[in-house]
Amino acid sequence: MRKVSRRTFVLGGLAVAGATAATAAAAAPSVLATTPYPFKLGVASGEPLPDGVVLWTRLAPSPLNADGQGGMPNANITVDWQVSTNDRFTSLAASGSVTALYADAHSVHVEVSGLNPDFDYFYRFRAQGHISPVGRTRTAPAFGAAGRDLLMAFASCAHWEAGYFTAYRRLAEDRPELVLHLGDYIYEDAATAGSVRENVGAEIVSLADYRRRYAQYKMDPDLQAAHAIAPWLCVPDDHEVENNYAGTVRENNTPALTAAQWTARRSAAYRALWENLPLRNAQKYSGNSIPLFRRIRWGSLATFHMLDARQYRHDQACGDGWKVCSDADLATRSLPGNAQETWLLDGLGQRLGTWDILGQQVFFARRFDAAGAASMDSWDGYRASRARIQNGWVARGVRNPVVLTGDVHRSWGNNLKADYANANSAVIGTELVTTSISSGGNGSGSTTIPDVANNPHLKFYSDHRGYVRTLITPTQIQADFRAVATVTEHGAAASTLRSFVIQEGLPGLQNL
C-alpha cells in the first residue's frame, strides 16, 4: 500500500490554495468582488469516463437560508470552469461556461469530455467575481486497457449530530483516485439538543429543508477535502429520504403523511440529492424517483455496478427489524427489483473487467443472530433475490465478484458462500462492509464477531468509525479497514485495524 504523509497532504493543499488566491488576484487585479463568496459548499467531481468527468459546485453565499436558495438571487448565473493538467492552471485541458439555474438551487453539473484516459487533472470554477477552491480528479482508463493500479476508498453513514467527519479528512489524506459513497450522505432527523453538533431545524420534509440540510453537511471542511481529492461514485440509502423507507413504503407503514405528502417528500429528497452530488444528467431526478443504478467501467481492471437497494424493493410483508419471514414471503421479495436484478446479471455476464465490484447499501452475506433471526432490512430478508444473483454470477463464470456495503455502522469482512447452511460450501465471492463516518458515535471498540457460531463465513468485525481503503491491481485487492479513535472530538488520527487480500480467481478473504 502506498503511503502519503499527512504533512505532505497539508502542505500540498496550502500550495493549491495559494495558487488559487494568486490566480484570482491576477484575474481581477483592480476589482474586489462586491458580491459575497458563493463557493462555500466546495467543489466535487464524479462519474469518471475514459475521456471525462462530471464537475460539480453549487453557488450559496448564505447556505443555511430557510428558503433553501443559499442566499442567491432569483436569477440564473453564468459560471466559468477550467480543467488543467496542473494545480497552477498554466496548461488548460478544457474550459467553458455553464448557466447555474435558480430552479436547481444554482447547482452546476459540467459533463467534461475530450480529456485523456487514465490521467490526473485539476479543476476550478469562477462566478460573480470569485474563484472556487481547486479540486483534483482523474479519468478512467480506456476500455480494454488495464491502466494504473487503482487506490479506491469507500464510505457511508455520516451523521452530523453523532460526531465530526474526521474520517473524511483521513480518507482525503490517503489521496485515493476514486471514492465510492454507499449511502446515508445526510440524515433527515430533527435537531437533538445535547448532540455533538446539532442539525439545523426540524426533520426535513420540503425541498427547502433538504437543500438546507445538504448545505449544512457540505460546509464541513473535512467532507469538502474528501470531495476535492478524487472523483466520487454515489448511491443513496434510506436517510437521504427517511429512515428505513423501502420502495414506496415508509418505515413500518407510518401513517403521519398522506400518500400525496409522501410522494412530495420523495420528490424533494431526490431532487435535492441530484442538485448536491456530482451526478450526470442521466441520473437526474424525475418526479418522485431517480435513475441511479448504473455501470462504470475502469478499463479492463474493474467494473463498478452501482446498485439502488431502496427504490425498487418489493413489498414489506415482513416489516423491518429482526424477524423470521415465511418461505412464501421470502420467495416473492426482491431487494433491487426484478428489472435491476436482470440488469445486474446481464452486466456481470459481460465480464468486462478483472474485478466485478458491486457498490450497494445493505448487508449482503447471511447474518443470523443467536436465535436464528435475521434483519429484514438486509439481503437476508430477500434470500431468493440474493440466491438468484449469487447463482447467476456462478453460472456466468464471474471469477472475481466483490460486494461493497455500508449501512450497518460497523466494519465487516465476509466470505460469500454458495450454501450458507453448509460450512463446507464453496466460497464464491467476497463482501467488504465499511463502518460509518460518524453514525453511532465513537462505538464500543469491540472486534469480537457477534454470533460467529451461526455465521462462520463472517471473518472480521469492528465497532469503530472510519472507512475502507483498497488497492486494486490485476492480481489482487488489498483491503485496509481504517478507523479513527474518536468522532466526538475533532481531529483524531486514523489507523489500520486489519488488512486482507482478495486474490484474483480465488474468492474470499486472505490474511495479509
C-beta separation of 41 from 60 below 8 A? yes
C-alpha to C-alpha distance for 121 and 123, rounded to whole angstroms = 7
Residues of the chain within CATH 3.60.21.70 domain(s) are: 140-511
Q: Which of 111-125, 145-159, 366-380 has the lowest mean pLDDT?
A: 366-380
Which single residue is written with the C-alpha cell 443559499?
70
Determine the pLDDT at residue 321.
Answer: 54
Helix, strand, or coil here: 91? coil
Fold of 140-511: Purple Acid Phosphatase; chain A, domain 2 (3.60.21)
362-415 pLDDT, tens per residue? 999 999 998 888 888 899 989 999 999 999 999 999 999 999 999 999 999 999
Sign of CA dihedral 400, 174, 464, 405: negative
Residues in Cβ contact with 284 at an 8 Å cutoff, skipping those fewer than 6 apart: 274, 290, 291
Residue 249: burial class (beta carbons within 10 Å; 0-12, 13-18, 19+): middle
Residues in Cβ contact with 294 at an 8 Å cutoff, skipping those fewer than 6 apart: 282, 283, 306
Determine the pLDDT at residue 107.
Answer: 98
User: In the numeric block, which cell numbers belong to residue 415?
Assistant: 466470505
Determine the pLDDT at residue 252.
Answer: 63
Q: Which of 38-52, 247-261, 338-352, 439-453 has the lowest mean pLDDT?
A: 247-261
Residue 4 has pLDDT above 80, yes or no: no
- Residues constituting the chain: 512
Confidence of residue 14 (pLDDT cuts 50, 70, 90): very low
pTM above 0.85, yes or no: yes
C-alpha to C-alpha distance for 403 and 432, rounded to whole angstroms = 6
Helix (H) or strand (E) holding 226: helix 221-229
Residues of the chain within CATH 2.60.40.380 domain(s) are: 1-139
Helix (H) or strand (E) holding 20: helix 6-27
Q: What is the mean pLDDT of residues 296-317?
A: 89
Fold of 1-139: Immunoglobulin-like (2.60.40)
Q: What is the mean pLDDT of residues 195-212?
A: 97
Determine the pLDDT at residue 331.
Answer: 75
Biggest distance spanned by C-alpha atoms of the chain: 75
In one-letter notation, the amino acid at residue 122 is: F
Residue 184 has pLDDT above 60, yes or no: yes
